[in-house]
Amino acid sequence: MTIREITLDELNPEEFIAQQVETVSSTVGDGRAINALSGGVDSSTVTLLGHKALGDRLLTVFVENGIMRKEEPQRVVERFEALGVPVELIDARQGFFAALKGLTDPEEKREAITQTFYKTVFGKLVKESGARFLLHGTILTDVDETVAGIKRQHNILTQLGIDTEEAYGYQVIEPLLQLRKPAVRVVAKALGLSEAVYNRMPFPGPALAARVIGEVTPERAETVREATAIVEEELADTGAFQYLAILHQDKVTGMRAGKRDYGSQIEVRCWESADARTGSPTRLPFDILERLADRITSKVPGVVSVTYNVTKKPPSTIEAV
Ligand code: XMP
């Protein structure tokens, strides 16, 4: 099935919101729905659309999977509670790390995250809450890249022929399927979300697991989380499309206090891009790069090397896994 895009030029945000609220209302009827809020612009938009349509018949959850950014779960819950949308924080860290244990292949890691999220965590929540619908923030670009076989975006289910009713026990509703990111930002703004949300830089569904090469253990997730926090702080004023830290699998010889220190490598990426389909590295000033290297090697335990990616997409991709 081809999905008809609503382009930025065509989009009338108020009309779009009214239509989607109506569709969600009529699909769910007098039943209940669940939605997972991750704090990104897509899921934040869907949360507000769903809340408008269903009020307290929408159960919004934030799944703490152990691979979110530093302090993110609490921050997101507080932000939405301030908007009058209650969010339930679900601690699923153990389940995710158990599913990721021993996996190094990128697609196997994605599959483990997908299954844990949709089957284990949501399957259970749906049963407990009596909801029959999951509201989902899938956008058109997620579908394109998955269907093209570039990367499996973790939120793509029906477009891969997965019958969610049969596989997981609920039906998926995807109000943003006809939009790309710039159009979602316009809808988010029209819904009254703050600029910090509607202009938020993209973050992948598989979270920091998309930035850990090799096995994702709690310790390795912590390393990339700390490095990410420093990168986000240092590069916040660059205006770049997206910036991130990647933890490499290979170790390298370094030195500390006059002794050999065989440690980890962090790669920093900072992208100029319009829509993530192509991209080029930002020409960062060398003093920023140097400060990043100094902060990461001194504050993140075990890291002895920091590199900067200078490759374009393609052939690179924005994330590493
Ligand atoms: P890539 O790495 O495919 O990323 O160039 C394109 C954009 O999509 C964001 N994003 C994801 N990337 N898996 C990914 O690899 C996902 O499930 C996913 N979800 C979102 C990514 O951060 C970049 O902006």
Residue-wise DSSP of 29-55: TTS-EEEE--SSHHHHHHHHHHHHHHG
Q: Whose CA is nearest to atom 17 of ligand 1?
A: 153
Length of the chain equals 321
- State the distance from the centre of ligand 1 to the C-alpha of 140, rounded, in angstroms: 12
Q: What is the pTM of this model?
A: 0.90
pLDDT band at 146 (very low <50, low <70, confident <90, very high): confident
Confidence band (pLDDT; 50, 70, 90) for 133? Answer: very high
Judge if the beta carbon of residue 276 lies within 6 A of ligand 1: yes
Distances from the Cα of 208 to the Cα of 28, 32, 139, 204, 214, angstroms? 33, 31, 20, 8, 12
Q: What is the pLDDT of residue 167?
A: 84
Q: What would the two tokens of residue 31 be?
A: 């039943």
Query: How many CB atoms neighbour CB 301 within 10 A?
Result: 11
- Ligand 1 touching residue 114 (CB < 6 A): no
Q: Is the pLDDT of residue 148 over 80?
A: no
The yes-or-no verdict on residue 14 having pLDDT over 70 is: yes
What number is the average pLDDT over the span 17-24? Answer: 98
DSSP type of residue 117: I
Q: State whether the beta carbon of 279 lies less than 6 angstroms from ligand 1.
A: no
Amino acid present at 81: E
H or E stretch covering 243: strand 242-247
List, for residues 287-299, the tens digit of each pLDDT value: 999 999 999 999 9
Most informative mutation of 144, 280, 319 for ligand 1 (most atoms within 8 A of CB): 319
Distance CA 123, CA 294 (A): 44
Is the per-residue pLDDT at 147 higher than 90? no
Q: Is the CB of 318 under 6 A from ligand 1?
A: yes
Mean pLDDT for 56-77 is 96
pLDDT reported for residue 161 = 76
CA–CA distance, 307 with 175 (Å, rounded to integer): 39
Least confident residue range of 116-120, 143-147, 194-198: 143-147
Q: What ligand 1 atom has the least distance to the C-alpha of 210? A: 15
Q: What is the pLDDT of residue 184?
A: 97
Q: Is the CB of 205 under 6 A from ligand 1?
A: yes
Q: How many CB atoms lie within 10 A of CB 64?
A: 17
Rounded to the nearest integer, the mean pLDDT of the chain is 94
Any idea which of 117-121, 212-216, 229-233 has the lowest mean pLDDT?
Answer: 117-121
Instruction: Assess whether pLDDT exceeds 70 at residue 154.
Output: no
Measured CA to CA, the distance from residue 184 to residue 186 in angstroms comes to 5
What the block records as the tokens of 288 is 């920023």
Cis peptide bond N-terminal to 315, omega within 30? yes
Q: For residue 4, what is the DSSP state?
A: P
* Band of residue 145 on the pLDDT scale cut at 50, 70, 90: confident
> Which amino acid, 309?
N
The whole-angstrom separation of Cα 35 and Cα 69 is 20
Can you tell me which atom of ligand 1 is nearest the CA of 110? 17
Residue 220 burial class via C-beta count within 10 angstroms: exposed 0-12, middle 13-18, buried 19 and up: buried
C-alpha closest to that of 35 among 25, 26, 48: 48
